[in-house]
């Protein structure tokens, strides 16, 4: 009985795909999809979308010189934060998180690519300096 349980446990363990640690270099490559509308780093300024310095952990609609959609402003007023889980959901399907949002982006389907992109964004402090 113990051998059967061990065999089943090992089969389940090895059958479940394990996600690798996020790769910042791959996240930087993925950010190229965002660059037409967003900037990061020193001197990042608004484009079609706001700069993303300090986005991870920031309150929704936090960049003062950008005009956000009503749902993002309401989320900010309600105290919503761009934590990793919320960013992941938004990057998968922006309209599922902010239905009235203006971001015209089809989303990033691969989970590992979203994780890489979030890891890349985490390294930018609100001042635009890399952490």
CA 68 to chain centre: 18
pTM, two decimals, is 0.81
| CATH architecture, range 21-122 | Orthogonal Bundle (1.10)
Closest CA to 22 of 130, 121, 127: 121
Burial 104-128 (b: 16+ CB within 10 A, else e): ebeebeeebbbbbbbbbbbebeeeb
For the chain, the average pLDDT equals 86
Between CA 97 and CA 102, with CA 99 as vertex, the angle to 5 degrees is 105
**Confidence tier at 12 by pLDDT (50, 70, 90):** very low
Task: Please return the burial class of 88, using the count of CB atoms within 10 Å of its CB with bins 0-12, 13-18 and 19+.
Answer: middle
Sequence-separated (6 or more) residues with CB below 8 Å from residue 22:
112, 115, 116, 118, 119
Q: Do the beta carbons of residue 124 and residue 38 sit within 8 Å? A: no
- With 80 as the cut, is the pLDDT of residue 124 above it? yes
Average pLDDT over residues 104-126: 93
Average pLDDT over residues 62-67: 90
**For position 6, what pLDDT does the model report?**
38
**Confidence tier at 65 by pLDDT (50, 70, 90):** confident
């Amino acid at each position: 009985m113990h051998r059967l349980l061990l065999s089943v446990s090992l089969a389940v363990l090895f059958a479940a795909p394990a996600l690798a640690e996020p790769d910042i270099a791959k996240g930087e490559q993925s950010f190229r999809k965002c660059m037409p509308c967003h900037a990061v780093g020193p001197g990042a300024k608004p484009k079609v979308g706001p700069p993303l310095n300090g986005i991870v952990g920031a309150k929704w609609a936090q960049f003062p010189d950008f005009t956000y959609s009503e749902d993002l402003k309401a989320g900010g007023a309600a105290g919503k934060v761009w934590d990793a889980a919320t960013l992941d959901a938004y990057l998968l399907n922006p309209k599922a998180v902010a239905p009235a949002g203006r971001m015209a982006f089809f989303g990033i389907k691969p989970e590992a690519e979203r994780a890489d992109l979030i890891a890349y964004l985490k390294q930018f402090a609100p001042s635009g300096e890399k952490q």
